[in-house]
Amino acid sequence: MSAFNSIPAWLNANSNSFAPPVCNRLMHGPDGQLFVMYVGGPNQRKDFHLEEGEELFYMEKGDMCLRVLEQGVFRDIEIKEGEVFLLPGKIPHSPQRFKDTVGLVIERQRTEKEEDCIRYFMEGLPNILFERWIHCTNLGTQIAPIISEYFASEEHETGKPSENSVVHNPPFYPDADRKLGNPFSIVQWLEENKDKMTENGKVRMFDESYQTDVFVVGGAQSTTFPANNTAEYWIWQFRGESDLVLDEGDSSDLLSRHYHLHEHCSYLVPVGQGFSLQPPTREAGSGHTIIVSMDPNNKERSRSKIYSLVIA
């Protein structure tokens, strides 16, 4: 898989993957640290997914519904075209997708000790009907056998849990206290934060109560991101252009370290490599670059930030 992509060209080349029965295609992964994928539809489902990491959603074309269990109550979160939503870890969620839609989803590789849960609830109730826990390396291939097991199960036939329905000592419990945010338009967010980007060069899109770092670069100065030894960076040239300069490469061949990112292009920076972004012109606000990083070490940061918000 190429580190560099023109997103429109990539979507066009893989358009057959976004309709049933496949409905999704990885741009990066599953062998890397970040799983960057685009997902189509229709795909209506009743299974819920639980993981310790987070998931970033953006709707490229059309709308979707993300069904979640929030503080013990089911909630449908509508993510409209052009909107972004960051789902915290440990939240039961079930994406509902519709025909002729395409959305971006980013999540991270699991650590060796992390497990995911595929869970079904009793009809209309937050009570567990059936669940299975797995160490997830490729959810696309691992989920199908669990779904098949469920549809052949006594629980599916009767609508009632059995002795083997629930793991009594699970790897973790859902976060029943977290209040979720709402999706928002990236274009509107850029307009609301243009002065901050002009002044600071980069602005954090989500606060540190999340594990995921999403920065937007939009100033007139060069902006540097240090090497991260546990996480990749996904760079998305959302608007305008920028020059990407990698920290490492052949010093005698500058072209090996330099990439000119046109609008709607992306680049995956590997673990252990830093970079800088430079505007091709000095006109502030002429380009906006989104940088996504999902460091598993930020789980502790997220917990401490949430705790401080609660006691405040």
Any binding-site annotation on 178?
no
Residue 75 annotated as lining a ligand binding site: no
Between CA 140 and CA 147, with CA 146 as vertex, the angle to 5 degrees is 85
Tell whether residue 28 is among the known ligand binding residues: no
Q: How far is CA 45 from CA 16, 70, 186, 210, 290, in A?
A: 21, 18, 27, 27, 31
- 93 is an annotated ligand-binding site residue: yes
Q: Is 45 annotated as a binding residue?
A: yes
Residues tagged in the binding site annotation: 45, 49, 55, 93, 97, 107
Residues tagged in the binding site annotation for Fe cation: 49, 55, 93
Residues tagged in the binding site annotation for substrate: 55, 97, 107
